[in-house]
Chains A and B, each alone.
Chain A
Amino acid sequence: MANQNGETNLSVLTAGWIKQNPTFVQVLGLCPVLAVSTSADNALGMGLATLGVLAISNLFISFVRNIIPNEIRIPVYISIIAAFVTMVNLLMHGYTYDLWVSLGIYIPLIVVNCIPLGRAEAFASKHGPWKSFLDGVGMGIGFLGAIMLLGITRELFDSGTIFGYHIWSSAYDVFVVALPPGAFLVIGLYMGLFRYIGKVRSQKKAQGDESK
């Protein structure tokens, strides 16, 4: 059912996938995206951890939004996000040790990723728990998709593998994509692609409106 702003559950869930993709469109939380996307494994782990933190922190922030005075909303949001990141860190240390070692410092750094705080401030503080949860899941999926795209591309061009499975000969290896300049290069190309898709879609929409 749509609310006053015309938001349906489906539109809230899917907004972050492409149209408001946190990485390629909103350009948020680039530090972990660039640093961790050296392999598909790392990207999947980081993406899932961020998705979990986003969904649960959005839900809790929405629950408490009416009892938190405006003056202290930011410290409360950050504390809630930090609490869930700490929990994810503890759980990964205990149950997915190899991935926890591999992701290292970037799990605790989800706290300072702009996306959870951005969604808390822009969405969860103004909407009910269910829609806030869906927004967290949707934005998390958008982030997961973006970081996976980068992780797969960089792993493929760096070592010719995806998730460790050999795809092509190492003769095609372009090791620079595994380095920081390569990360900027790849994300720049994807951002350009997303912009181009957006432009083409809006032109088609405009042409459709004119013909009507």
Chain B
Amino acid sequence: MFNHVKIALILTTVMIVIAAIIAGVYFMTYAPIAKADLNAKFEAIKFVLTDQTTGQLLVDQSQIPETMKELNAKIWKSNSSGVLYSNAKLPGYVLSPAYLFKGKDGSDIYVLTGYGIGFGGRVVSVASFIKQKNGGFLENAIDVIDYANETPGLGAKINDPDVRSRFFDIPNSGFKDTIKVNKDAGLFPLPSDYKSKLNDYKDKGIIVTSDVMTGATITPRSVANTLNAMYEFLEKEVK
């Protein structure tokens, strides 16, 4: 009996000491982690507000947020639940808050954060959509900010420039029947001249990823689902 109590006491003491050490490191790293996460978000917003063809900002430099206060001033829609829109069938989710920027040409540019379900859980992306004069939205660019649970070398390649660029400049015609990665759209194997037709495929809602993300379909599909949910949200909310 005494031996059991002694063992329990030793184990409890060890756990308390370990918990105290982890708590100390947690408090020490709390501010740097918050700063790193916020910087990632600022960088992502700046990235998606850049024209990926010319490298020029779509908005005035003064509009790019560098502090939380400046970012909060750009909030277009938010709610307390944290999710602005969800389509469980895809599945794709739009997170709160959504931001609205004014382009240099006066167009409305919506910056949304959302996620789809990848191989290891949430794959979170930030994307920008430019309201078109003839209706609909042009998806300008995406930045995948959280793919920490995707497999390194496979799904985790989702934010490589080669892969990410496949999700740029998708016109509203592409979202007509939701966008799909080429394997899901039945475009596999790829024809020999597929590289010259990437934009044509985008017009039809087909995003070619199988050549730059060999062996990974779930992660790019989750990003496509996120963009589909974002587009549905904008169509519903923007009059």
Using a CB–CB cutoff of 8 Å, the interface residues on chain A facing chain B are 35-36, 38-39, 42, 64, 67-69, 71-72, 75-76, 79-80, 83, 86-87, 90-91, 93-95, 97, 100-106, 175, 178-180
5 contacts between A and B (CB under 8 A): A83-B21, A87-B21, A103-B152, A104-B120, A175-B214
Chain B: minimal CB distance from A156 (Å): 14
Known: A36-B152, A80-B18. A101 touches B146 (CB 8 A): yes
Q: How far is the CA of A79 from the CA of B19 in the complex (A)?
A: 10
Name the 3 nearest CB pairs between A and B, nearest first: A38-B153, A94-B32, A94-B29
B10 sits at the interface (CB 8 A): yes
- Give the size of the chain B interface in residues (CB under 8 angstroms): 35
CB distance from A84 to the nearest CB of B (A): 9
Other-chain contact of B147, A35, A86, A91, A104 (Cβ < 8 Å): A104
Hey, which chain B residues are within 8 Å of A180, CB to CB? Answer: 215
| Assembly CA distance A180 to B31 (angstroms) | 37
Q: Are A68 and B156 in contact (CB under 8 A)?
A: no
Least CB distance from A150 to B in Å reads: 11
Given contacts A68-B14, A83-B21, A97-B40, contact A90 B152 (CB under 8 A): no
Asked whether any CB of chain A lies closer than 8 Å to the CB of B7, the reply is yes
Q: How far is the CB of A174 from chain B (nearest CB, A)?
A: 12
Set A67, A71, A87: member contacting B22, Cβ < 8 A? A87
Q: Which residues of B contact A80 (CB under 8 A)?
A: 14, 18
Nearest A-chain residue to B13, judged by Cβ: A67
Find A38's partner among B15, B120, B152 (CB 8 Å cutoff): B152
Closest-by-CB residue of A relative to B149 is: A105
Chain B at the A interface: SS class: helix
Which residue of A is nearest B145, CB measured?
A101
Chain A, Cβ-Cβ closest to B146? A101
In this assembly, does B68 line the interface, its C-beta being within 8 Å of a C-beta of chain A? no
A90 to B26, CA, bound (A): 7
Q: Is the CB of B33 within 8 A of A106?
A: no
Q: Which residues of chain B from 182 to 217 have any CB-CB distance to chain A below 8 Å in the complex?
A: 214-215
Please give me the residue from chain B that is nearest to A32 by CB atom.
B152
- Check B22 against A94 for contact (C-beta < 8 Å): no
- Would A105 and B148 count as touching, CB distance under 8 A? yes
- CB pair B7–A90 under 8 Å, yes or no, is no
Complex CA gap A86/B29 in Å reads 12
A69-B7, A79-B18, A91-B25 as given contacts; A102 in contact with B152, CB under 8 Å: yes
Chain B residue, CB-CB nearest to A103: B152
Q: A94-B32, A105-B120 are in contact. Are A35 and B152 (CB under 8 A)?
A: yes
Cα of A179 to Cα of B26 in the assembled complex, Å = 36
Give the number of A-B contacts (CB < 8 Å).
88
Interface of A, secondary structure class, is helix
With the chains together, A90 CA to B23 CA distance in Å? Answer: 11
Q: Are A97 and B39 in contact (CB under 8 A)?
A: yes
CA distance A170 to B156 in the complex (A): 21
Chain A residue contacts of B33, Cβ below 8 A: 90, 93-94
Choose from A75, A91, A102 the contact partner of B29 (Cβ within 8 Å).
A91
Q: Is B239 in contact with chain A by the CB < 8 A criterion?
A: no
With beta carbons under 8 angstroms apart, the residue of A68, A83, A91 that contacts B18 is A83
Closest CB of chain B to A39's CB: distance in Å? 7
User: Does the CB pair A39–B6 fall under 8 Å?
Assistant: no
- Against A, the Cβ 8 Å flags (1 = close, 0 = not) of B13-45 are 011001001100110010111011101100000
Extra pairs beyond A95-B32, A104-B150 (10, CB < 8 Å): A42-B152, A68-B14, A80-B14, A86-B25, A91-B29, A94-B33, A104-B147, A104-B149, A179-B214, A180-B215
CB distance from B197 to the nearest CB of A (A): 22
Q: In the complex, A38 Cα to B157 Cα: how many Å? A: 11
Q: How far is the CA of A49 from the CA of B40 in the complex (A)?
A: 22
- Is there contact, CB below 8 Å, between A35 and B22? no
Q: Does B22 contact A86, Cβ atoms closer than 8 Å?
A: yes
Q: A103 to B156: give the CA distance in the assembly, Å.
A: 9
